[in-house]
Structure 1
Amino acid sequence: MLRDENLKALAREKFHHFKTLERKHQELDDMIDELEKKAVITPQEELELERMKKERLKLRDEMMLLMKKAKEEAENEK
């Protein structure tokens, strides 16, 4: 059974854009953390926060799909 970190490594090998998705996800994560640390956020920042959270979720879903695909391909190669 492949663990999450092993699946990520496998996905990085099989899909060249997986690293880009990871990097973008981490950047959004950091930006969201910074915005959420503020005591008060403007309505514009609130909208931006929601947009970033949706984008981060979309990236995570895409990475999970690629990890699943990498796992299936690895199991089929056995």
Structure 2
Amino acid sequence: MERGFREQVLAKTESYIEDTGEVNWLVLDAINKEVPIPVISQSIMELLKSRMNESDAYKSIALMRHGFGGHPFGKMKE
């Protein structure tokens, strides 16, 4: 994340970041098996919230997701 702050200007960073959907199956399977995974479930909810709310907090999360998982900034062009 530190590198992201050095390389990317936060004011120009989009809070919207794409996800691969890899975790969605995990949450659905956990629900079907009645296994609580609150932190993972909440992380998906926060991702969805970040797409509706431009804030420095969500921009910081976008920087972290980009640095950790290589997720592209902004909506993917199809």
TM-score with structure 1 length normalisation?
Answer: 0.40
The structure with the greater share of residues assigned to helix is 1
Given the two structures, how large is their TM-score scaled by the length of structure 2? 0.40
Larger Rg: 1
